[in-house]
Structure formats: C-alpha cells, structure tokens
Amino acid sequence: MLKTYLSLLMALIVCFPMSASRDELPASVEDALELLDKTLENSDLYYSAKESRIDSLMKLVPVRRGVQLMLLYEEVCDEYKSYDTDSLLKYCQLAWDEARNCGDRLTEEQISLLWIETLPIKGVTVEAVHALDSMKRKGISEENRVAFYRAANDLYLMMSLNFSQPVSKDKYMALRTLYADSLASAVDPSTPAGQFYRARASALHGQDTEVVGLLSEVVETVPMSDHLFARASSMLGSYYRKIPERRDEAIYYKALAAVSDVLCGVREETALHAVAQMLYEQGDIDRSYRYISHSLNNAVLSGSAIRAMQATDGLPIISGAFRERDQRKLDIMTWLLVALVIAMGVIVGSLLFIRREVKTLNALKQKSYEANLLKDTFISQFLNLCSIYMEKLEEFSRIAGRKITAGQVEDLYALIKSGKMLEEQKLLFIEIFDNAFTRIYPTFVDEVNLLLQKDKRVVLPEGVKLNTELRILAFMRLGLDDSAQIARFMGLSLNTIYTYRNKLKSKALNRETFEDSVVKIGLS
C-alpha cells in the first residue's frame, strides 16, 4: 500500500508543473522536443502511477457486488483504455456480464461500444463490424448515441487507413465521413470535445481553415494532462505535416501530443512515432531512433497489433541509417587510426634519426676529446723533449767550460769526435719518440701489419715498441714524408731511409697505396 501511495505522490510531483504551466506551452520546436525528452525520461513514473491506480481498484473487487462491482469494472476499463488492450477487453467482458446480471441495458451498451471501439486496435475488424451492425439493428439508446457514433467513426477510421484496395477504402471512408458528421452534430459544439469532433468532420470535407481554428482552440483550452489535448494536438500536427514548409509546426504539435500521451499514461499512441519519422527525415537520427524504440515498446506493451505494425514500419530504415552513421564513424576512426599509426611511424623514425645524430655527435665529441688529448700529449712530450735537450745542452756547456778553463781542449775535442754524447742524445730521442708515438697510436703496429703480407709482418721483441722500419713509418704518419728530414731525425743516411722505404713497400699487400694507407692510420 505504501508503494502505491509513493508512486502516486511521485506522479503528482512530476505532473504538477505540467498542469500549473499548462497555458505556457513551449515557445519553439526545440523547446517542445526538450520537454518531450524530459517527459520520456520520467515516463515510468506516469505508467507506475496508472498501475498503482489499477492495483488500488483491483483490491476492491472482492468486496464489491452487483452494481458497485459493475461500476468498479467500468473504472478499471477506463484506466486500461489506450494502455493495455488485452486487459481492457478482458474487463469489458467482466463489466458487460455484471451489467447484464444487473439488467442495466445502458451500461451494457456502453461496454459493448467500448469493446467494438477497441477490437480494431487488435486488428479484429470483421467481428467489430458485425457487432456494430447488430447493435444498430437492435437500436441504440439516446443516452449512448454519442458513444455509438464515436465507436463507429473510430472503427471505420481504422479500417479506411488499413485497407489498400480502392473499393473497400472508399466504402469505409464514406462510412467514416457519415459517422464523423453524426458525431459532430451530436456533441455540444461549445465544448472542447464538440470542437474536436467538428474539426474531424470538417477535415473530411476539406475545410482546412475551420479545422486549424477549431483544433488550435482545443489545444489552447484543454490541459496537457487531458487525453483530448493529445488527440487535438496530434491531428493539428498531421494537418501541418502535409505542408512541407510547415514541417516545424508539425513536429511541434506532434511532440506536444506525445508529451500529453505520456502524462495520461497512454501506451497506444501514434504521435511519438510520427515525431520519430519527421526527425529522421531531418537527419536527427539519435532522437528518431530513441523515439521509435520507445513507441514500439509501448505498442507491444499495449497489445495493439496495429500500432506495433505502424511502429515497426520505420524502424528498419532508421536502424539502417543508425548503422550507416555508425559505419561512417567507424570509417573515420579507422582513418584516424591509420593516420595515428603513420604519425607514430614518423615520430619513431624521427626519434631513431635523432638518436643516431646524438650518437654521431657523441662520437664526434669523443673524437674531439681524443684529438685534444693527443694534442696535449704531443705538447707534453715535445716540452719534455725540449726540457731534456736543454738539460743536456747545459750539461755539455758546463763540461766544455770546465775543459776549456782547465786547458783540456784536446780532451773536449776527443769527446766531441767520439760522438758518444750525440749517440746518447739519439738513443734518448728515440726512446722518448717511441713512448710518445705508441701512446698516441697504441694500435699502430697492428694496423701496419694488416697492410703487409702475412709472412712479412713485423714481430717486435718483448719490451721493444718500435724498430727502425716502423719508426720511419711513424714519421710518415706524423706528416714527415721528406726522407732527408727523416734521416736527420734518426741519424741515418738518406740512402738508408730510401732502402727501408722500398723494403717496406715490397712487403706490402698493395705497393702503390701502402704509404697512403699508413698516413690514414688512426683517422677512422
């Protein structure tokens, strides 16, 4: 019971703003669609409220008898109208049985007419026509004449819309017009219902101006929570739908009708389906798909075969468009992915290139560092050699000074002539040169051997860094190619230097390029 009260309270809370602002209809098509979106989001509240009302009525069935039970079943039928066709037909039968048991002919006729009005929604038209003809032959009470015209008009309206053969369609259209005129004449024209039925009759006679005026007045007068508002607004939307340049008005009034259907708890509706189709034609696929799905779900739940068929007509087209749009999105995503992969490839390639350049730069830095180290080594060894020669020169000057002072000129001359000091300086120079050169070019000997024939390669005794042949090549590597200069540095004759150079060329793998290759040692 508490759940029922809560559902009713929630429905009233949601419905109240609609009723309170009833005279302030949405100002634009987009406002109407936004209102429809919000209403559909809360549709379960309205349907729950209707279910709660039905549950409350059904709990009274066991305690009602006779006329009270008949009236109770009528209330149940009224709740199930346009909501659940199967349940409506079931309770129509129960209400009809109670009316017959009570001898209430008027109620019996009313229920029969409601039953006839409902059968075409299930797709049962032949039985409805037979029942209508039977009641017509028996005669209709004056009190139920409006209900008879309404049932007959709705029956032949449904049949004229669902029969495609011209003969049958024209026949049912004529009967529909006949009963529409009768209904319009029977209802008080000053009431909203009378204006609505007059509009329906006028539409069949092509009186468009009168139709628009009457329907507009109904829409402006009746609250949205009244199902008559939905019927009038939907019909007004159908009128504008026939005029291409008035498509916005068509969507506007059909959207308001769909809102009213939800507020009234109606599942057996057509307005929402029409809005979905028109929005699809305008390219609003998302809303169209959402509305058509909601409409189809309502048609199935209502048990209306006709409405379900109408709702499914546009679903394949809209679903196809939805799939097509999704495919386009997938294609775009695929191209974006390809572009991303290409971009990633470019980035990776750039990173590899940068990495290679960094390695090259580091190698250049290392070579620069090594070159600076070689320069420092050269300078250090040169200064060291100069220092040694200065010391030796000072030592020789002291010895020469002592010998001259002591009158030992002959001894000084003998010392100079013996060449002992020069030989010592030569050996010292060679030792310093060998140490400095092999330190700067530690792989020099191995690289020279690679230029020589295998059986002619140089093998040095342990502890010896360079021999005379290698020392000549070392001077050449340092850029001293003049044999005369090499001979002076090494203290050898010019012919000896030529002999060594020719001998080395004869050992080379390539005599013509041997000396050039020696000069390039250590450059790479």
47/408: higher pLDDT: 47
DSSP 425-450: HHHHHHHHHHHHHHHHSTTHHHHHHH
Cα-based torsion angle of the residue sequence 265, 256, 274, 278 in order, rounded to the nearest 10 degrees:
-150
**pLDDT of 248 strictly over 70:** yes
- pLDDT class of 431 with cuts at 50, 70, 90: confident
- Domains of the chain, CATH where assigned: 1-45+210-303 (1.25.40), 441-524 (1.10.10)
Q: Is the pLDDT of residue 390 over 70?
A: no
What's the average model confidence in pLDDT over 456-478? 86
Q: What confidence tens digit (pLDDT) does each residue in 364-385 have? A: 777 766 666 666 666 666 656 6
pLDDT in tens, 207-238: 989 999 999 999 999 999 899 999 999 999 99
103-107, 117-121, 285-289, 332-336, range with greatest mean pLDDT: 103-107
Measured distance CA(460)–CA(283) in Å, rounded: 93
- Contact by Cβ (8 Å): 183, 197: yes
pLDDT score of 195:
93
Q: Is the pLDDT of residue 519 over 50?
A: yes
pLDDT in the model for residue 305: 59
Instruction: Give residue 228's pLDDT.
Output: 92
- Is there a contact between 11 and 46 (Cβ–Cβ < 8 Å)? yes
First CA to last CA across the chain, in angstroms?
Answer: 97
pLDDT at residue 115 above 70? yes
Residue 452, phi then psi, degrees to nearest 5: -100, 160
Measured in whole angstroms, the distance separating CA 405 from the mean position of its chain's CA atoms is 107
Give residue 421's pLDDT band: very low, low, confident or very high (50, 70, 90).
Answer: low
Q: How confident is the model at residue 310 (pLDDT cuts 50, 70, 90)?
A: low
Mean pLDDT along residues 295-322: 65
Q: What is the pLDDT of residue 223?
A: 93
pLDDT confidence of residue 269: 76
Q: Give 225's contacts (C-beta < 8 A, 6+ positions apart).
A: 15, 18, 19, 22, 260, 263, 264
Mean pLDDT over 256-277 rounds to 88
Instruction: pLDDT band for 315, please (50, 70, 90 cuts).
Output: low
Identify the pLDDT of residue 18: 42
Tell me: pLDDT of 290 over 60. yes
Report the pLDDT averaged over residues 330-345. 85
Range name among 91-100, 214-223, 478-487 with the lowest pLDDT average: 478-487
Q: CA separation (Å) from 42 to 29, 35, 469? A: 20, 11, 104
Q: State residue 4's pLDDT score.
A: 42
Residue with tokens 């409006």: 146
pLDDT mean over 131-147: 89
Higher-scoring residue by pLDDT: 15, 213:
213
pLDDT at 193: 92
Confidence of residue 311 (pLDDT cuts 50, 70, 90): low
Question: Does residue 6 register a pLDDT over 50?
Answer: no
Give the range among 257-271, 282-296, 419-433, 507-521 with minimum mean pLDDT: 419-433
Q: Which of 280, 369, 366, 272 is nearest to 311 (CA)?
A: 272
- Whether the pLDDT of residue 391 is over 50: the answer is yes
In the beta sheet, which residues pair with residue 452?
508
| Residue 224 and residue 255 in contact, taking contact as beta carbons nearer than 8 Å | no
